[in-house]
Structures are given as structure tokens and as C-alpha cells.
Amino acid sequence: MTGEHQYSEEKLIDYLKGRLSKAEEELLSKAREESGSLAEDLAVLEMIYSRKEELGLNINQYIRFNQINERIHQKEKAALNPQKGSAEISKKWAFGMAASLLLLLTFGLGSYHWWNEVPMIAVASQHEEIRELTLPDGSQLILYPNSEVRYPERFDEDIREIEFRGTGHFEVEANPEHPFSVVLANSEVRVLGTVFEVKAPVGGLEERVSLIEGVVNMRIDGNEKDLKLSPGESFRFDLPAGDFSVQPFDVQEVEARKQGSMLFHQTALQQVVADITDWYGIDIEVSDQLKNKRISGKFKTGSLSGMLQTLEVLSAGKIKKQQQRYLLE
């Protein structure tokens, strides 16, 4: 992109992040409409998508992203005006098909749905907010704080697929002919009908899937074979190490979360703090002496001050507030 082109990568990122004034948004919209290069538009979107983890786009910003996909699609339709010469139409049609394939390969199923004009639904929960959703097939989802889900208004004939980040409790309607798939950042949960919990927070150190009822097949990026879970087993993907394992888990932890509590059993203090910060949206730094300490106990969500007091007792540490963050030492 040249610095002179208003429809630049950085300008579009500012738009997605909501940093532009109303006047600046109108100028950007005009630049998009006047842009004559579909290839350039696609290149901008491809660059942004390649930086999605770095940018940390939330689900609402992804909605804006896909709305721009749709506008490009409309530009392609206009380019295929039947009043133009057949040679020019043929050329643009071929280019349009190539652009369609590029979008499908680059942006995945989410953009495929937008391309075929299937409305997408995006729901996000804020810190300390719990939301209960019914998906198009009747499956139930509890969306815990700081989580987001994206799914089509209706599932297609072959598979029921959603995209998910955060922590959620799933009760999936049984349908052997139409598998249910939860796509995470580094793995995929494939089920027919079952009850399970997913913990895959944005920026977290692991992805975890804990099976309560039924059967789950885990698909891991770069792994040729699926991994099957049985009830009482938890799949854990250590993202920094790139390793995964299957371990037994305490179902009471899942039940406690549904009842508004956090239950830990010999859990590393650093992971306990990560769960608390994810729930409340605060920043807690743990001293090096305490990071690897393991604690057990039950935290009642609700009052932040009560949560911090419980953390002090169980960790045998002291919490100090320093400007916008807390220090546990």
C-alpha cells in the first residue's frame, strides 16, 4: 500500500478498532467505494487477517471485518454488469472467481458464510458477565465472562460449525448425520451430541476441553489423527510448548463454575490468577517466589474485594495495588 492511498492497512485497522471520528469514517467509506482495484482491497484484508492474533480483534471488530468482505462482494457483482462487452465480462468473471477462492482459503468458513450471504451472529460477554444462548440447532451454550462466539444464523447441511474464544459450557443436541464443530485458535472440537466445557481464552497459555457426557474427537493443527476423549477426561494443549495431553479432571470444577464459583485443586497459582484476571478484567502480577506455588480452594465470584481476600489467604501472600494493577507477593 502506498502512503497516499486512504484505504490503507493501518487506516482500516483504526476503523475496525473504532479509533476514527465520524468524519474520518465517512472519508474512508468514500475511499473504499472509489477504489478501483479489487486485488488491492483483497491484499489489505489478507494482511490484516494475517495479523489477527497480534491485533487482538474482538468479535465485534470481526463483524466489521466481514461487513467489508461483503462490500467487496457487492463491488464484484457490479463489475459483472451484463451490459458490458462479453470479453470484459468473461475476464472479470474469471477474476471474481479467483477472488472468491482467495477469500475462502484466506479467511475460512466465516467468510464463506458471508460470501454466500448467510447471516452470521456474533455474541460477546463482558468481564463479570455470563450469557446463556440457544444455538440454531437447539444446542445450549453458557458464555462465561470475556468470551465470544460466532455462528451462522442457520447451519448448513453437512456440519454445524461455530468459532469460539474464551470459556463456555456446551450441551449439544444429538444429530449423528450432522457433526457439531467448535473451532478454536489451535484445535477443533468435533462431536455428535454431548456435554463439555471449553477454556480457550484469548492470549491464554492453553486450550482445554473437558468432557462430561458423550464422546469428543479433538483435531489438533498439524496432527494427522483425531484424539478421542471419554467422559471425565480433559484435553489440554500447552500453547507455549506446543504439546498436548489427556488427563482426568474433577467434574466439580465445571459444576462450580455453573454455580458462580471457581474451584481449584493443586493448581499453579499463576493459572489461578490468570482465571481471575480473565473473569474480572484486572491485572495481577505474581512475584517469582509464588508463581509455581500450587493451591486448592473455592472462590465465590461476585465481589472483587472478596475474591482478592480469598486469594491472599490461600496463597499466604499479600496483595498491593499499584496504580492500575495488583501485585501478589
Q: What is the pLDDT along the chain (329 residues), one digit of tens a residue?
A: 343 444 567 777 777 666 666 666 667 766 666 655 656 666 676 676 667 666 665 545 555 566 565 565 555 555 555 444 434 333 333 343 344 434 434 444 444 444 445 788 999 999 999 999 999 999 999 999 999 999 999 887 778 999 999 999 999 999 888 899 999 988 899 998 899 999 998 777 789 999 999 989 998 877 767 889 999 999 998 888 888 899 999 999 999 999 989 999 898 898 899 899 999 999 999 998 898 899 999 998 988 899 999 999 999 999 999 888 899 99
Cell numbers linked to 65: 471485518
Residue 327 per-residue DSSP state: E
Amino acid at 286: V
Ordered by where they begin, the domains of the chain are 9-115 (no CATH), 120-252 (2.60.120.1440), 260-328 (3.55.50.30)
pTM (2 d.p.): 0.65
Angle of the 38-50 helix axis to the 9-16 helix axis, nearest 10: 60
* Residue 118 · residue 143 · CB < 8 Å: no
Report CA 222 to chain centroid distance, whole Å.
Answer: 20
In the chain, % helix, strand, coil (3-state, to 5) comes to: 35, 30, 35
Count of beta carbons in the 10 Å neighbourhood of residue 41:
20
Helix (H) or strand (E) holding 114: helix 109-115
Task: Give me the pLDDT at residue 31, please.
Answer: 67
Rounded-to-integer distance, Cα 145 and Cα 138, Å: 22
Cell of 255: 459444576
Contact 189, 169 (CB under 8 A): no
Q: Sign of the CA dihedral 123, 61, 161, 183?
A: negative
